[in-house]
Amino acid sequence: MRILKFGGTSVGSPENIQKVIAVVKERAQKENVAVVVSAVGGITNKLLHAGHLAAQKDTTYSAIFQEIKDIHLTYTKALTQSGETLLHVQNLMNDLEALLQGIFLIHELSPKTIDKLTSFGERASSMMITAAFLEQNISAQHKDSRDLILTDASHTKAIVHTEQTHTAIQNYFKDTNVPITVLPGFIARSETGDTSTLGRGGSDFTAAILAAALQVDALEIWTDVSGMYSANPKLVKQAQPIRHISYHEAMELSHFGAKVLYPPTIAPVMQENIPLYIKNTFDPEAIGTCISNEVNGKNTPIKGISHINDVALLTLEGAGMIGVSGTSKRLFETLSSLAINVILITQASSEHSICIGVAQGDVQRAKDAIENTFAYEISKHQIDPVFIEKELAIIALVGEKMKSHQGISGKMFSTLGKNNINIRAIAQGASEKNISAVIASKDVKKALNSLHERFFEDQHQQLNLFIMGVGNVGGRLMAQIKQQQEYLLEHLKLNLRVIGISNR
């Protein structure tokens, strides 16, 4: 069995959904598949937007609702003739409208209601896509993930109860032999019986949970790019898909902002040693990325560069901190009591200051709480009031082989320096899989591109390869080039780029 997950862009239009069907159909000829789908691209944001407007008593929420409804009804009609499916989708839209009216009336949007609200995206898309399979006489069934994935009640980013969830998934799939099962990603059921969700981007995680529970041969994440790239392809034109990457490296890259994979996705498949492939729905023949335990020794020490935006730094400083035990404990306890995630920590060996990176949205709350915790020391001038800096980003170099290479941080900082990019803080994990620097947000694009050039493009030796053919049909030539590309990557770890095709 295999698990395939398709993201928002992949299911973003009836035409794209046909591409999804073609991929699934091909896979389902060999083995049964579970297909996890996201909401139609942009719908989760629209649902949240409508919800927030309704909660603020702004009647324009109904225009956004109308858009959401139109999209789903139009897509359903384009995908299926089934009156029953259309009725189902219409009923869903009626329930959504009633929920939004409720939010408008009570003037409130709790995390529990947010989960109920955002669940409509995946519920509608999974229903439409199942119908689209059936329309083409492809045997498929729909299963609501809320019957299988059980969580705690921490709404909007619930914690999965793994054992119960695995049992429910195994019990369900052992009794079914339908070749294709379509499930909504992202949504689950809390221990109190309410709809919960796994966090933004969480459909990847749904697919990984299914993969681990069923110990499948492979998990495939189908998206709008051809794999995990050496840097965000939207910001770095020269970025290339990474052919092979370890679980740990992929985890670091996704934690540090490579949005292509929701970070919690990797742990379940890593535990079961299930390979994870990232593939492009719009170019299914492209090789994509394989994430597994196999780390290839010939590969470069740096696998990728990623970044996180909207970061703020908090500095706690003062002579009163030197040699006083328990300062860090009090600091981190304060942050943890507010559920504030610490992205990066640096401490000078003098212990005179501790610097912490947090999401910009959390920084004011964090500052207030820390100053409250250290109110006594601040009043006695032993510790300074917390200093905050905003509009920052973290940029990270990731690679498991970095630890056996010297001079990487030197190269990183000199490259940033040469490009007049000021570094505010630096952190390197003891595992040396990651070197991170905090820089100004405005410098991100320049930093990514200059680091990419320094670490990836400089090393590329150009290999001129001439492929000649007679009666040269474009398609056949491209197929030959693709074969050469795969061969070179597989055996020599060389990335072949086609620079030009000449006709002589």
> What φ, ψ does residue 190 adopt, rounded to 5°?
-85, 170
- 388 burial type by CB count under 10 A (0-12 exposed, 13-18 middle, 19+ buried): middle
| Residue 201 Cβ vs ligand ADP, minimum distance, rounded to whole Å | 5
Rounded Cα distance, 260 and 253, in Å:
10
Give me the sign of the Cα torsion angle 166, 169, 171, 173. negative
Does residue 227 bind Mg ion (CB under 5 A)?
Answer: no
| Residue 51 Cβ vs ligand ASP, minimum distance, rounded to whole Å | 14
Q: Determine the residue with CB nearest ligand ADP.
A: 7
Catalog residues that contact ligand ASP under the rule CB under 6 A. 7-8, 38-39, 44, 121, 185-186, 200-203
Contact 121, 49 (CB under 8 A): no
233 binds, among ligand ADP, ligand ASP, Mg ion, none (CB under 5 to 8 A by kind): ligand ADP
Q: Closer CB to ligand ASP, residue 200 or residue 445?
A: 200
Q: Closer CB to Mg ion, residue 199 or residue 417?
A: 199
320 binds, among ligand ADP, Mg ion, ligand ASP, none (CB under 5 to 8 A by kind): none
200 binds, among ligand ADP, Mg ion, ligand ASP, none (CB under 5 to 8 A by kind): ligand ASP
Q: Which residue from 383, 388, 361 is spatially nearest to 372, judged by alpha carbons?
A: 383
3-state secondary structure of 199: coil
135 binds, among ligand ASP, Mg ion, ligand ADP, none (CB under 5 to 8 A by kind): none
Q: Closer CB to Mg ion, residue 241 or residue 320?
A: 241
Instruction: Report the 3 state secondary structure along 84-145.
Output: HHHHHHHHHHHHHHHHHHHHHHHCCCCHHHHHHHHHHHHHHHHHHHHHHHHHCCCCEEECCH
Q: Closer CB to ligand ADP, residue 244 or residue 367?
A: 244
| Residue 227 Cβ vs ligand ADP, minimum distance, rounded to whole Å | 7
Strands 244-246 and 289-292, by their bridges, are parallel
Does residue 263 bind Mg ion (CB under 5 A)?
Answer: no
Q: Site for ligand ADP (CB under 6 A): which residue of 2, 3, 4, 8?
A: 8
Rounded Cα distance, 222 and 159, in Å:
24
Of the candidate spans 3-11, 320-328, 477-485, 489-497, the one that interacts with ligand ADP by CB under 6 A turns out to be 3-11
**CA-to-CA dists, residue 238 to 450, 452, 453, 456, angstroms:** 11, 8, 8, 9
435 binds, among ligand ASP, ligand ADP, Mg ion, none (CB under 5 to 8 A by kind): none
Q: The tokens of 42 are what?
A: 């942009």
Does residue 67 bind ligand ADP (CB under 6 A)?
Answer: no
| Residue 259 Cβ vs ligand ADP, minimum distance, rounded to whole Å | 4
Q: Which residue from 313, 304, 302, 301 is spatially nearest to 394, judged by alpha carbons?
A: 313
3-state secondary structure of 193: coil
| Residue 19 Cβ vs Mg ion, minimum distance, rounded to whole Å | 17
Does residue 201 bind ligand ADP (CB under 6 A)?
Answer: yes
288: left (phi over 0), alpha (psi -120 to 50) or beta: left
Q: Site for ligand ADP (CB under 6 A): which residue of 208, 218, 258, 369?
A: 258
| Residue 66 Cβ vs ligand ASP, minimum distance, rounded to whole Å | 20
Edge-to-edge strand order for the sheet containing 187-190?
150-151, 187-190, 195-197
Q: Closer CB to Mg ion, residue 131 or residue 183?
A: 183
Intra-chain end-to-end CA distance of the chain, in Å:
49
Q: The tokens of 371 are what?
A: 């100053």
Please list every residue from 281 through 320 that binds ligand ADP, using CB under 6 A. Answer: 304, 306
39 binds, among Mg ion, ligand ASP, ligand ADP, none (CB under 5 to 8 A by kind): ligand ASP
Q: Site for Mg ion (CB under 5 A): which residue of 12, 41, 184, 201?
A: 201
| Residue 308 Cβ vs ligand ADP, minimum distance, rounded to whole Å | 11
225 binds, among ligand ADP, Mg ion, ligand ASP, none (CB under 5 to 8 A by kind): ligand ADP
Rounded Cα distance, 243 and 259, in Å:
17
228 binds, among ligand ADP, ligand ASP, Mg ion, none (CB under 5 to 8 A by kind): ligand ADP
**CA-to-CA dists, residue 28 to 21, 32, 140, 369, 426, angstroms:** 10, 5, 10, 54, 48
| Residue 218 Cβ vs ligand ADP, minimum distance, rounded to whole Å | 17
Does residue 38 bind ligand ADP (CB under 6 A)?
Answer: yes
- Whose tokens are 């007049």? That residue is 420
Contact 236, 282 (CB under 8 A): no
229 binds, among ligand ASP, Mg ion, ligand ADP, none (CB under 5 to 8 A by kind): ligand ADP
Q: Which stretches of the chain bind ligand ADP, using CB under 6 A? A: 7-10, 38, 201, 223-225, 228-229, 231-234, 258-260, 304, 306
Q: Which stretches of the chain bind Mg ion, using CB under 5 A? A: 7, 201
